[in-house]
Amino acid sequence: MVRLIVLIAALLALGTESIVVAHPGHLPRQNDNDRVWTLRDGPILVRGSFVTLKVGQVQIRRRDGSLESVQISQLVDADQAWIAQRMNRILLGNDQLSLPLLADVSEDRNLNLQAAQELPMLLAQADTDRGRDTRSPEIAAAFAAFVKTKAIRTRWDDQFFYVESRGIPDHQMMVGITAWQQQVPIPQAYLGDNAWRIPLNPVPAKSPQSAKGNFLRGAIALAANGVPIFNPLNNRGDDAFLFGELDEFGGHCGRADDYHYHIAPVHLEKTVGRGLPIAYALDGYPIYGYDEPDGSKVTGLDAFNGHKDARGNYHYHATKTYPYLNGGFYGEVTERGGQVEPQPRANPLRPDLRPLRGAKIIDFQETKPNSYELTYSVNGRKGSVRYTLSDDGSARFVFVDTDGKSTTENYTPRRRGPAGPGPGSEDRPPPPPRRGEGPPPPRGDRPSRDGQPRPGEGRPDGPRTDTATRAKSNLPQLTVTSPAFQPGGTIPVEFTGDGASASPPVEWAGAPQGTKSYAVNVWHVPGPGDIKSYWVVYNIPANITKLARNEMRAGTIGVNDKNRREYDPMKSKGPGVKQYHITVYALSSDVKLTPEKASRANLLDAIKEITLAEGTLDFQYERKR
């Protein structure tokens, strides 16, 4: 223990409140030094920022600038563990991971890496002396090869194994896709609190859940290289592999330009090593390749593509036909909005686009650091997408269609749409491309084909931002109103959870010729990368252009985010006025969805090709109690 204290003191004495960013410009610094420190045998000590550890004493800077010192042995286990984790971050940030992570080391001092490399062993020994076992869990072996290559970072606590990554594999991407949504790979920040987490102690579910028709959004597993794996079925229920949506490695990009697999990444066996899992399902059970860990033939798989080994331990296997990997969850998971929760969110930089009919991706390469080029062909004529990612999180895209016309768009993290014409482009919006040829202009809150969430794969099934920054659809616009409140006004309390919880009356006009039915959705953006859906009504006959208060008979009621076929009255949390929206879609045919599957995400995907017009009524609500 003395040696441990000396080592920590030597390392943390370097760490004042100055910082160095390992790869400047990628991630903003968050002051996670600031915390509430608690004595083992007493109440809360003080809130302040960690400064250093000297001779067994933790030094804390109060908010008024004064310093407070306390023996590390007097702190509760959680505070002592936090100090150990910080040292682990220092080690990883400087010697183990080439990701844009932060290193808490003073700029004018050098870290003694030789001593730092001994830290995990000393920490484990110290915990063993206190009766704890902090040896690496078995799961760590599957990810070790990619930790070594600095592609991912791992950590764990008593409950979960955490994997941090950028979601970008080291193999060729996108080549071979014949059903392309015009998305391209952009690194994601699956880091810190947004890391992937896998249960260390999986529990068999009382009622195992199939992935066929369920979990059509978000990831169901994580590959050993830190790339998420989605349901083999897209959110229309089609086999993504057979549909031509996947590249030669079984992956493609979702609406947030986030790369992910849809089938088992068996190619990873060469890297992870023989007999180790190539992935872990989000219920905590491992996924092996086509053979057993000992190389023998796989037999006796259940409906979830899994079985127990001779020791009674359950695991899944890859197969060359559906379901390709875990066909559901043998273990316990929490489902919310059609996906496993919690799971990391992707961060979209630009709107998703329409599928490009007839396109086949023939090449994708990094032309220079942070610059990429995707080449596709349509009827033998080539087009391309070139893009460069900047340190500030912005990107410059150059689209060249199959006629050779070039269009430039700039995107920034603050607004998920074009930031205006880029260098060399004309000072006017580009004309719409001919059908089936170049990338069309961004489509606002139009859906795309993949089951991937739109505003960041947590609940990515709707508009990317709230009213102030939501891109406007280029479809004909319906006029949507309510006799109960003015556009942009406050919804009466009777239509909220503070009142009678009645669904609001809605009216619309301006539907184009050919309209056969309508769909209505009430939704809200509670935060970046998140969408909440309160009410879905669809297959409203074309001769009906309004819904009365508490209407139950017109059309079919789908499911809200609580998976209930009803109106979910908003109950805003936290102070301040919140923005909500009612969107009405005019459709050229009825929607072919069963009510139980008619969530917002599935509705938007189902009406993708049949929407003739749409309109949105914005309103406000502030909870009074």
CA distance linking residue 185 with residue 98, whole number of Å: 19
CA distance linking residue 523 with residue 529, whole number of Å: 14
| Whole-number pLDDT of residue 3 | 42
Percent of the chain beyond pLDDT 90?
Answer: 52
pLDDT digits (tens, 9 = 90+) for 511-530: 999 999 999 999 988 765 57
pLDDT digits (tens, 9 = 90+) for 183-234: 999 999 999 889 999 999 999 999 999 998 889 889 999 999 999 999 999 8
Residue 563 has pLDDT above 60, yes or no: yes
Sheet arrangement for strand 556-557: 556-557, 532-541, 517-524, 578-587, 611-621
Of the candidate ranges 350-354, 535-539, 595-599, the one whose mean pLDDT is the lowest: 350-354
Mean pLDDT of 494-507: 90
Of the candidate ranges 64-68, 163-167, 517-521, 572-576, the one whose mean pLDDT is the lowest: 572-576
Q: What is the mean pLDDT of the chain?
A: 77
Residue 19 has pLDDT above 80, yes or no: no
Residue 156 has pLDDT above 60, yes or no: yes
Which of the four pLDDT bands, split at 50, 70 and 90, describes residue 236? confident
Residue 25 has pLDDT above 50, yes or no: no
Residue 5 has pLDDT above 60, yes or no: no
Of the candidate ranges 6-10, 249-253, 345-349, 609-613, the one whose mean pLDDT is the lowest: 6-10
pLDDT digits (tens, 9 = 90+) for 97-154: 333 332 333 333 333 333 333 334 434 444 444 444 445 789 999 999 999 999 999 9
| Whole-number pLDDT of residue 77 | 66
Determine the residue type at 57: Q
pTM: 0.53
- Residues 512-516: contacts with CB under 8 Å, at least 24 apart: 512/476, 512/586, 512/612, 512/613, 514/588, 514/612, 515/542, 515/586, 515/587, 515/588, 515/612, 515/613, 516/542, 516/587, 516/588, 516/589, 516/590
pLDDT digits (tens, 9 = 90+) for 423-482: 222 222 333 333 333 343 333 333 333 333 333 333 333 333 343 334 445 678 899 999
